[in-house]
């Protein structure tokens, strides 16, 4: 390893590792991102819809995922991600509803709604850019 001529005694930072030709490109985040062909504009739009329709419930992501999962690896990935997140949110809504009688549900339900809307919008914006989104708070029911 050679030293950086501008700062003696400090080794230089390593550069990016080149991707071999023909290797799948990782469009997601570290820890299980999407690897596959770049999504088409239609796939990006459907990815946006998968995330946004999840705000209304898990049926929107489920329908789009079931229709398009075999045609697009990007929609397969993002559909599963959105479906898992919104099923997790459904569980949180049920817990919030059950705890309404002791008062804590009045805090849980609005918090779950805000988390669902904010993360869904973030996912929709990323998917519309062709970047796979990973929700930070989710149970992976569908792998």
The pTM of this model reads 0.75
pLDDT tens figures, 82-136: 999 999 999 999 999 999 999 999 999 999 999 999 999 999 999 999 999 999 9
pLDDT tens figures, 34-81: 778 888 999 999 999 999 999 998 899 999 999 999 999 999 999 999
pLDDT at 10: 62
- Check if the beta carbon of residue 97 is closer than 8 Å to that of residue 86: no
Q: Which of 26, 71, 24 is nearest to 46 (CA)?
A: 71
pLDDT bracket for residue 11 (50, 70, 90): low
């Amino acid at each position: 390893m050679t030293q950086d001529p501008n700062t003696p005694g400090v080794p230089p930072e390593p550069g990016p590792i080149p991707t071999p030709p023909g290797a799948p490109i990782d469009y997601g985040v570290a820890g299980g991102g999407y690897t596959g062909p770049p999504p088409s504009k239609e796939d990006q739009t459907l990815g946006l819809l998968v995330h946004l329709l999840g705000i209304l419930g898990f049926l929107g992501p489920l329908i789009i995922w079931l229709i398009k999962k075999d045609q697009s690896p990007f929609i397969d990935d993002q559909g599963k991600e959105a479906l898992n997140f919104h099923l997790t949110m459904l569980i949180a809504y049920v817990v919030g509803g059950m705890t309404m009688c002791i008062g804590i549900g009045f805090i849980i339900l609005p918090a779950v709604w805000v988390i669902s809307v904010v993360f869904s919008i973030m996912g929709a914006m990323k998917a519309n850019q062709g970047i796979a989104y990973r929700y930070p708070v989710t149970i992976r029911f569908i792998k």
